Amino acid sequence: MSINQTSLEEIKTRIDIEEVVSDFVSLKRKGQNLWACCPFHDEKTPSFSVSPTKGIFKCFGCGKAGDAIEFIKEIEGLNYIESMRYLGKKYSVQLEEEEDTPEEQERQSQREGLFIVLGFAKDYFHDLLLNQPEGQSIGLSYFKERGFNQQIIKDFELGYSLDKWDGLLHEALKRGYKKEILLAAGLIIEKEEKTYDRFRGRVIFPIHSITGKVIAFGARTLKSDQGAKYINSPETDVYQKSKVLYGLHQGRNAIRQDDNCYLVEGYTDVLSLHLSGIQNVVASSGTSLTDDQIKLIKRYTNNITVLFDGDSAGIKASLRGIDMILASGAHVRVVEFPEGEDPDSYARKLGTDEFQKFLQAEKTDFISYKTQLFLKEAAEDPIARAATIKEVVRSISKIPDALQRAVYIKQCSDLLEVDESLLISELNKIQLQSTGRFKAAQPPLATNLITEEKSRSSGLPDAVARQERESIRLLLNYGDRKLEGETSLHQYYFSELEEVEFKTSAYQQILSLIRAELDNHGIVDTKRLMEQVTGEVKTEMIDLLTERYEISNMWMEKFRIYVPTEEDILPNVAYSNLLRLKYRVIKKLIAENREELRMAKPEEQQNLLQVDVALKKSRNEIANHLGIIISD
């Protein structure tokens, strides 16, 4: 299915961020903006703001920010197209699905057929569990023994399959479902011209899509002699097990609210945690954790807590999977259960309150956990200790954020009682190994990596970048204000900057967009600008549109003091920003020119020296205006 581009545009023009956000939180007006307690993190005083004129939201607590579409994506856990569908519904815009090709239509009706027959099977199994003597005496009594109450059975639509070859098959054919669709849904098996039910004499755990449709089943046998304890539906057109998490449909709101997702192994672990009042839990059932599953969780939270069964063989096997979570940039914690216990058994043993306390108390940061785990085993054995260091550093090397890596290196050097520099050199070795094959070696020192990454992520931008950022901030926020007479800030900047190109690519990109907006429309509409950028540039733009001005407003309200707003002193701010920008650019030119001079042949020197003199003259003039004293 596809969506018509013009209807997408139509929706975008109708979006009113205040209306969109108000469906989820109640906003209060303060000054130009609207405020509420943030729906994305837990807080008691509002730091979540919405600017109707700019069409954006931003939380000063957790940093979440974006436009109305972003808001829907985030809060409903939808992708872009799903969010546009949501907004289309809200604003009654027909999404005018374009005419599908016959193959697409065929595929679509096949998928819908699967959903229908899977829905039928779910109801059939659920009804057997609750109302049929075999289902009650075997299935229902098993669930009750485990303490599963009616609510859980209903929420997860648990079921039972009769202990015979054609229970479902017979009922389905009687209702008019074709054998082909039952086969395609993985409900029956065809072998040597015999056809029979896949699930027989088992309790049934339906697996839901995020939106709550049943897409597959997991089934547990209750007999000791009947093959595999658990079997699952095979992959079908609607079920790719690597892209599904059990419990996500039921737990997604809780995951977002608690800003944490517990990761367990099995269906019953998920159910037991729900019984203990913990709903932010999922299981990667029937597969070891995949990248797609991690991405799914990250739609809702960046914090993942892995619950380990208490047996050390199992833990070691799970460790590599966790490196994958680290690589996704998520923050990983672990809880280890006592020997012989799993989340399901232990939750039942402790009861709700104690179990919750246990999780809180035992939650350990993964890197420290892994360090201690290996350290325990290595004890005084120097060879094992060396292996431990390698193992731990390997995990740290997966973390994408350089600052975080540096923190862990420090922490582990304390735990392992080895010099930080030793860990850093180990880290460099691993990173060189993993990147060397694809590109030239990175600067090998961890310290280099850190400063480099810091400045890239604008934590510590260099002086020119800082002034460029300030220019863009002023242009975005005050572009149409008049400075003197009829000259607007836009005009002032563009006449002063002429054809100057910013060296930071994000700022240059925004600068060109602003220029184009002025050329094409005569005014700069920030909403329209925002639609033209993505990713980091968009985030940066939102930051620039919100940060300082909002904060000073908040301070004024909080302390009832008068702070001259930036607008009051705008001409000065703009003037000094441009001067500083020019000053930095000239300083850079001087340095470059001197470098050239150093390498120059004698006959070129005279010319370069003259350039040096001219540049210094301009620099000194600007420095005078700025009140900067020059030493050379």
Closer Cβ to Zn ion, 38 or 306, answer by number: 38
Q: How far is the CB of 24 from Zn ion (least distance, A)?
A: 13
Beta-carbon neighbour count of residue 112 at 10 Å? Answer: 11
Backbone angles phi, psi at 331, to 5 degrees: -90, 125
CA distance 493 to 471: 8
In terms of phi and psi (left: phi > 0; alpha: psi -120 to 50; beta: otherwise), the region of 401 is beta
Q: How far is the CB of 262 from Zn ion (least distance, A)?
A: 21
CA distance 269 to 153: 14
The answer to whether residue 59 forms part of the interface with Zn ion (CB under 5 A) is yes
* CA-wise closest residue to 581 among 627, 622, 631: 622
Q: How far is the CB of 359 from Zn ion (least distance, A)?
A: 23
Q: How far is the CB of 529 from Zn ion (least distance, A)?
A: 24
CB under 5 A: which stretch of 57-65, 85-93, 344-352, 520-528 binds Zn ion?
Answer: 57-65
* CA-wise closest residue to 348 among 268, 244, 407: 268
The answer to whether residue 378 forms part of the interface with Zn ion (CB under 5 A) is no
Closer Cβ to Zn ion, 61 or 321, answer by number: 61
Closer Cβ to Zn ion, 64 or 582, answer by number: 64
Q: How far is the CB of 35 from Zn ion (least distance, A)?
A: 12
Closer Cβ to Zn ion, 40 or 346, answer by number: 40
Backbone angles phi, psi at 77, to 5 degrees: 65, 40
For 67, the enclosing helix (H) or strand (E) is strand 65-67
Q: How far is the CB of 38 from Zn ion (least distance, A)?
A: 3
Q: How far is the CB of 318 from Zn ion (least distance, A)?
A: 31
SS (H, E, C) 275-314: HCCCCCEEECCCCCCCHHHHHHHHCCCCEEEEEECCCHHH
Closer Cβ to Zn ion, 59 or 207, answer by number: 59
Q: Give the Å distances, CA to CA, from 61 to 30, 39, 45, 258.
A: 17, 11, 10, 15
* CA-wise closest residue to 526 among 5, 75, 27, 52: 52
The token pair that represents 574 in the structure block: 């703009």
CA distance 468 to 497: 11
Task: Give the pairing of strands 214-221 and 202-208.
Answer: antiparallel
Q: Which residues pair with 56 in a beta bridge?
A: 51, 67
Closer Cβ to Zn ion, 62 or 463, answer by number: 62
User: Which residue is listed with tokens 């050329």?
Assistant: 519
CA distance 471 to 567: 15
CB under 5 A: which stretch of 7-15, 40-48, 261-269, 612-620 binds Zn ion?
Answer: 40-48
Closer Cβ to Zn ion, 257 or 411, answer by number: 257
Q: Give the Å distances, CA to CA, from 354 to 272, 307, 324, 351.
A: 14, 16, 31, 6
The token pair that represents 593 in the structure block: 């020119």
Closer Cβ to Zn ion, 65 or 330, answer by number: 65
The answer to whether residue 40 forms part of the interface with Zn ion (CB under 5 A) is yes
Closer Cβ to Zn ion, 425 or 539, answer by number: 539
The answer to whether residue 60 forms part of the interface with Zn ion (CB under 5 A) is no
CA distance 370 to 161: 42
Q: How far is the CB of 40 from Zn ion (least distance, A)?
A: 5
CA-angle at 366, arms to 342 and 335, nearest 5° = 20
CB under 5 A: which stretch of 56-64, 231-239, 496-504, 540-548 binds Zn ion?
Answer: 56-64
CB under 5 A: which stretch of 51-59, 306-314, 320-328, 426-434 binds Zn ion?
Answer: 51-59
Q: How far is the CB of 543 from Zn ion (least distance, A)?
A: 15
CB under 5 A: which stretch of 55-63, 127-135, 165-173, 542-550 binds Zn ion?
Answer: 55-63
CA distance 197 to 162: 10
The answer to whether residue 37 forms part of the interface with Zn ion (CB under 5 A) is no
The answer to whether residue 259 forms part of the interface with Zn ion (CB under 5 A) is no
Q: How far is the CB of 148 from Zn ion (least distance, A)?
A: 35
CB under 5 A: which stretch of 32-40, 233-241, 404-412, 437-445 binds Zn ion?
Answer: 32-40
CB under 5 A: which stretch of 52-60, 91-99, 426-434, 522-530 binds Zn ion?
Answer: 52-60
SS (H, E, C) 429-458: HHHHHHHHCCCCCCCCCHHHHHHHHHHHCC
Q: How far is the CB of 36 from Zn ion (least distance, A)?
A: 10
Closer Cβ to Zn ion, 45 or 534, answer by number: 45
Q: How far is the CB of 20 from Zn ion (least distance, A)?
A: 17
Among 38, 271, 334, 578, binds Zn ion (CB under 5 A): 38
Q: How far is the CB of 365 from Zn ion (least distance, A)?
A: 22
Closer Cβ to Zn ion, 56 or 474, answer by number: 56
CB under 5 A: which stretch of 31-39, 157-165, 203-211, 390-398 binds Zn ion?
Answer: 31-39
Closer Cβ to Zn ion, 252 or 587, answer by number: 252
* CA-wise closest residue to 343 among 244, 284, 271: 271
Closer Cβ to Zn ion, 41 or 405, answer by number: 41
**Interface mask toward Zn ion for 318-357; x: CB under 5 A:** ----------------------------------------
The answer to whether residue 41 forms part of the interface with Zn ion (CB under 5 A) is yes
Closer Cβ to Zn ion, 44 or 598, answer by number: 44
CB under 5 A: which stretch of 39-47, 226-234, 257-265, 582-590 binds Zn ion?
Answer: 39-47
User: Is 120 in contact with 177 (CB distance < 8 Å)?
Assistant: yes
Q: How many residues bind Zn ion (CB under 5 A)?
A: 6
Q: How far is the CB of 21 from Zn ion (least distance, A)?
A: 13
Residue type, 476: L
DSSP 329-348: T-EEEEEEPPTT--HHHHHH
Among 3, 8, 18, 61, binds Zn ion (CB under 5 A): 61
The token pair that represents 362 in the structure block: 């035992």
Among 3, 8, 37, 62, binds Zn ion (CB under 5 A): 62
Q: How far is the CB of 240 from Zn ion (least distance, A)?
A: 33
Closer Cβ to Zn ion, 75 or 510, answer by number: 75
User: Is 198 in contact with 231 (CB distance < 8 Å)?
Assistant: yes
CA distance 120 to 234: 18
Binding site for Zn ion (CB under 5 A): 38, 40-41, 59, 61-62
